[in-house]
Copies of this chain bind each other. A is one copy, B any other.
Amino acid sequence: MPDYRRRAAREAMSVRLDVNGMMAEAIGQAGVGTDEVDGLAMRAVETAHALQAKRAAGELPFYDLPYQKEAIGITKALAAELRAECDTLVVLGIGGSALGTKTLLSALEPTRRVIVADNVDPWTFGKLLDGLDLTRTAFNVISKSGETAETMAQFLIIRDLLLRQLGAVDYARHVVITTDADAGALRQIVHDEGFRSLDVPPGVGGRFSVLTAVGLFPATIAGLRIDDLLAGAAWMDSRCQESKLWQNPAHLLSTLLYLADTQRRQNIVVVMPYSDRLRDFGAWFTQLWAESLGKAETVDGAPTHVGQTPLTAVGATDQHSLLQLLVEGPADKVVIMLRVEDHGREIPIPEAYADLDSLGYLGGAGLGQLLNREQYATELALVQQQRPVITLTLPQLNPFALGQLFYLFEAAVVFAGALYRVNPLDQPGVQASNRLTYAQMGRAGFENERAAVEAWVARKRSEYIL
């Protein structure tokens, strides 16, 4: 196991950002010119300073999550307690309360069963409940606000189930609540019913919370090495302190994506890991990028709508699905490939059928070798068609690398928010849907929305329904 206190170990496991396939030298007019990047250098420096000042003032606490020794200690201690009491942890959470944990569980090697329930589909939630031994199961209910409808509905169901099956004395030991330290309904319930609990630190939104108790508690239960994860994040943090734009991975990444979007109409970002285990990372990235940058802003009195659309593809699988569109369709995409140098396992392809042209060439190589050669082939095929591509290489897929990835994209999206001049920390656009749901559920105070719900049914024209 590498000792990441040593700089050589950190360097050796450093995630490498290769932007060659994004630049004009490689792909002509579809690529970004060095002059364009340099043209933004002054603004980039100002932006970096402004963010640094906010960080120092405690206004962007996500930056400092790798260093919260006390909170991390509390999380570990509670996880140790729970590991002694249960075989299975079920996380009840959605969006930012789920996506980081799902990424960790599928990318790494859990030694204990942790399941994330992040929807209210009665079929899948029912199947999940059917298969649980409640006496050996704990539930981690996660909602910063303490009022997320989906998570609260799940909580009401499992609380009732626990009460009925385990009784009023024991049920509380099967629930751990992760929520705001002071406010909200869940914190109130913690006080009233004596559940064990963890805090989501103030000022850290869901999509920036994977390195808080939100992600670290289930990860520790699963037996993952969270110290390495945090060390990876800290290492990327140190790399992202670099003042020169050309040497700062987060700032260079977001500057290039911003220029691609605003100067080249490349408004779709495809994250394409060549590793099944990073599929969920794509989903994590999707939330981060879409919610942080997909914003309406008013410029000179007129509303404008910004934000790149994120999309996940998995190599080599989706070479047989999306690649045709990426290569020949509209030139509106940037592809970010994630390449894993050492997959942690290799499977040799046996030599056979030497007489058959279309099979004989495969023997002797390894499956991982084939996968990585396909990544390289597709990178080059995109470049040959003047399609921009960035490659992030992970020496191995381990907690240290994943910590780097999380931190890199979080730092990048906040930087991009400044370039787009939007607030990357809010998500005002989701309120209308929430209110219209409350209205249908009969929640008090949403009578106007109820009228809107009924009006929409009434307005529908039957000739438009087939």
Which residue numbers of A lie inside 8 Å of B, CB to CB?
16-20, 22-23, 25-26, 94-96, 98-99, 118-126, 129, 146-150, 152-153, 156-157, 159-160, 184-185, 188-189, 206, 239, 246-249, 252, 267-268, 274-277, 283, 286-287, 290-291, 293-296, 305-307, 309, 311, 314, 316-317, 319-333, 343-350, 352-353, 356-359, 361-363, 365-368, 370-371, 373-374, 376-381, 383-385, 397, 427-430, 432-445, 452-453, 456, 459-461, 463-466
CB contacts (< 8 Å) of A381 on chain B: these are 432-433, 436
Count of chain copies: 2
Whether the Cβ atoms of A316 and B94 lie closer than 8 Å is yes
Further contacts, 5 of them, CB under 8 A, given A121-B275, A327-B432, A377-B435: A16-B466, A26-B459, A94-B317, A291-B321, A296-B329
A419 smallest CB distance to B (angstroms): 16
A363 to B157, CA, bound (A): 9
Identify the interface centre among A362, A378, A384, A434: most chain B CB within 10 Å of its CB: A362
- Choice from B118, B294, B320, B326 contacting A94 with Cβ under 8 Å: B320
A249 to B323, CA, bound (A): 28
Whether the Cβ atoms of B294 and A325 lie closer than 8 Å is yes
A365 to B98, CA, bound (A): 24
A305 smallest CB distance to B (angstroms): 5
Which 5 A/B pairs are nearest by Cβ-Cβ distance? Answer: A95-B320, A294-B325, A294-B329, A377-B436, A147-B358
CB contacts (< 8 Å) of A247 on chain B: these are 466
Whether the Cβ atoms of B18 and A464 lie closer than 8 Å is yes
A contact face: mostly helix, strand, loop, or mixed: helix
**Who on chain B is nearest to A362 by CB?**
B153
CB contacts (< 8 Å) of A290 on chain B: these are 321-322, 324-325, 329
CB contacts (< 8 Å) of A294 on chain B: these are 324-326, 328-329
**Who on chain B is nearest to A330 by CB?**
B305
CB contacts (< 8 Å) of A441 on chain B: these are 361-362, 365, 370, 373
**Who on chain B is nearest to A295 by CB?**
B328
Whether the Cβ atoms of A152 and B465 lie closer than 8 Å is no
Known pairs A443-B357, A465-B17; A267 contacts B432 (CB<8 A): no
CB contacts (< 8 Å) of A124 on chain B: these are 276-277
Whether the Cβ atoms of A370 and B120 lie closer than 8 Å is yes
